[in-house]
A = this chain, B = another copy of it.
Amino acid sequence: MTTGAVSSAVSPVAIVCGNGRLPLQVAEAATARGRPVFLLGIVGIADPAIERFPHTWIKLGQGGRAHRLLTERGCREVCFIGGLTRPSLSSLSFDWRTIRLAGRVAKLFIGGDDKLLSGIIDLVETEGGLKVVAPHDVAPEILAPAGPIGRREPSAAELADIRLGLDCLRAMSAHDVGQAVVVGRGRVLAVEAAEGTDAMVDRVAELRRVGRIRLPDGTGVLVKAPKAGQDRRIDLPALGPRTVLGAERARLAGVAITAGAAVVADPVELVAVADRAGLFVYGIPGEGV
| Residues in A lying within 8 Å of B, measured CB to CB | 85-86, 88, 110-113, 115, 164, 167-168, 171-172, 174-178, 181-182, 185-196, 203-204, 207, 211-214
Contacts and interface: CB of A to CB of B under 8 A. Distances in A.
A125 B190 CA distance: 32
Q: Which of A113, A115, A195, A212 has the most CB of B within 10 A?
A: A195
A212 B194 contact: yes
Contacts of A185: 110-111
A199 B56 CA distance: 43
Q: Which among A88, A174, A186 has the highest number of chain B CB atoms within 10 Å?
A: A186
A192 B113 CA distance: 19
A211 to B, nearest CB: 7
B175 A212 contact: no
A207 B112 CA distance: 16
Given A171-B171, A195-B203, 12 more contacts: A85-B212, A112-B187, A167-B175, A168-B177, A171-B172, A171-B175, A177-B191, A188-B193, A191-B192, A194-B212, A195-B207, A203-B203
Contacts of A186: 110-112, 115
A213 to B, nearest CB: 5
A206 to B, nearest CB: 9
A196 B110 CA distance: 27
One complex includes copies of this chain to the number of: 2
Nearest to A111: B186
* Best-surrounded residue of A175, A178, A185, A214 (most CB of chain B within 10 A): A175
A191 B185 CA distance: 20
Given A172-B172, A195-B203, A207-B195, A111 B214 contact: no
A176 B193 CA distance: 17
A247 to B, nearest CB: 16
A108 B181 CA distance: 22
A168 to B, nearest CB: 4
Contacts of A182: 193
Nearest to A213: B194
23 contacts: A86-B212, A110-B186, A111-B187, A112-B186, A112-B187, A112-B188, A113-B187, A164-B175, A167-B175, A168-B172, A168-B177, A171-B174, A176-B187, A187-B194, A188-B194, A189-B194, A190-B194, A191-B191, A191-B192, A194-B204, A194-B213, A195-B207, A203-B203
Nearest to A185: B110
Contacts of A174: 171
A282 B220 CA distance: 36
